[in-house]
Structure 1
């Protein structure tokens, strides 16, 4: 299957840059195979109307952390850093070292310093991985959680524009996270679930729909550009998951 068959025009002004006031106010398209020949439009709050008693709803409880950092090179150039995995300490490091994707980081050299907002706290480049990503040392005088809490931003998709010091930072931490997020380790949110509210989930259960949970930690492949002509040629990175027996049993019983 050729990649170009999936191309379509999406005007930039139709991409919302902020969420609606309520999670479940977002729009929803429904297409039921063999029943309808074209999509029907709903508000997400109406999703219980599309479910039946005895159905099983599976949710992903992966949690995403504010692992995007904005920093400045000594030359004054701005860089955007997405922390991926803690690889531990390396030779000569004092703080923890992370594998990271860096935007605006061309020709970064080992030992180069990147300054965070206050210009008194910095990161250190420790080279590159075989995948072309950077190794970044975090400040030794802060725990990782403190660095993320103080300077971190949520790793929103690239078509959602955010900037250094952006006022959206606080609301993004709440809204770019599902209400049932429990298991840390995802580098992006499982976005299909962002529209559920706790009240909506409770209504779905009252209507006789069984809700089960699994964990799929969204990995770096979600940011990987497609550079091939055929779908089958695109290679994604693996992702870790936990599929509980209870979840499997519920799916089998529902069939």
Structure 2
């Protein structure tokens, strides 16, 4: 399928650099009916039905962006997948100048060796510490891995506020290097509304990788390679999904990451099993969804794998029309932007 089919005009003015405050004041475009309904995120419980089940991603973003030196040359490394107790794959700038065996110093006593250079530009770093100690060093010396279009000065106080803003209230399992952004809108008020409306809430884990930011550089979707991400879906959650379906409730994925994990664990329409491992599922129009009935998601960039996914879920022409409506109504796009609620076509 031609990537040009998923292109649209998106002036920079629509892309949000900062989140809505409070979180649930973000706007919500409700596409579950025939037309477009303009709401706010705190209206979400009213858009759902008693017996529905929301499933969100409880991954926790780590400060995975590191600034270091290699022989006086500045290096910026963004870790995107853990491959061992002391090893991570990373995107590095300038990566081409790094050689296997070289050392990059990120702080006094905290450094990594270039263990391997892989096809596609990935660098495998082997750190001088591992496990909890490595995570502690990332907390101390790292920065939140915001999308590339959000620029923050190293000394900016915004770096501190991003540590809170770029994290969901239900973040629990450390390992993501990008936030599951649809979950950023949730507040205690929304949770109270869900409970009052008879809507259940459950979490899964998918450690979002920085590959989610990578542009699609090929002309045809069949030529694009997705980075894999690690996730887990428990037996308990599978049983809750099955019970919801048996009772006539709907499965509502909070974000594309939750949807991708649920669909990775699906074995047939309406049938799912526990899952633990890596997934590189790439969803484009023509995919037959097996588990998810509704999707809460943010507005995505043109030609992105995520816009391809929502086009597969709700229909490409409908999503292009919805995005034109969103621009006309000054909705805010991407990670810190507004959201939309989609019904599977």
Q: Give the TM-score taking structure 1 as reference length.
A: 0.83
Instruction: Give per-residue Cα distances to partners, 1:66-86, cap 9 Å, x unaligned.
Output: 11112234344x332112334
Instruction: Give per-residue Cα distances to partners, 1:61-112, cap 9 Å, x unaligned.
Output: 1222111112234344x332112334447xxxxxx33221113333112343
Q: Residue 93 of structure 1 aligns with which residue?
A: none
Give unmatched runs, 5+ long, in structure 1: 90-95
RMSD: 2.6
CA radius of gyration, larger in: 1
- Report the structure, 1 or 2, having the larger helix content: 2
Q: Residue 17 of structure 1 aligns with which residue?
A: 17
Q: Distance in 2 between matches of 1:239 and 1:120?
A: 30
Instruction: Give per-residue Cα distances to partners, 1:162-199, cap 9 Å, x unaligned.
Output: 34333222211112111111222223221111100122
Give 3-state SS (helix, strand or coil) of 2:175's partner: strand
Q: Residue 161 of structure 2 aligns with which residue?
A: 171
The correspondence for 2:68, drawn from 68, 71, 79, is 71
Q: Give the TM-score taking structure 2 as reference length.
A: 0.63
8 Å CA contact 1:214, 1:247 repeated in 2: no
* Shift of residue 120, structure 1, vs aligned partner: 6.8
Distance 1:211 1:119, change over 3 A: closer
State how many pairs are aligned. Answer: 244
* Shift of residue 20, structure 1, vs aligned partner: 2.2
Q: Residue 285 of structure 2 aligns with which residue?
A: none
Structure 2 counterparts to residues 126-137 of structure 1, below 5 A: 126-137=115-126
Instruction: Give per-residue Cα distances to partners, 1:138-173, cap 9 Å, x unaligned.
Output: 344992022111111112221222343332222111
Give unmatched runs, 5+ long, in structure 2: 251-345
1:2 aligns with 2:13: no
Q: Distance in 1 between matches of 2:103 and 2:23?
A: 40
Structure 2 counterparts to residues 144-183 of structure 1, below 5 A: 144-183=134-173
Q: Residue 50 of structure 1 aligns with which residue?
A: 47
Q: Residue 83 of structure 1 aligns with which residue?
A: 79
8 Å CA contact 2:53, 2:202 repeated in 1: yes
Q: Distance in 1 between matches of 2:4 and 2:20?
A: 32
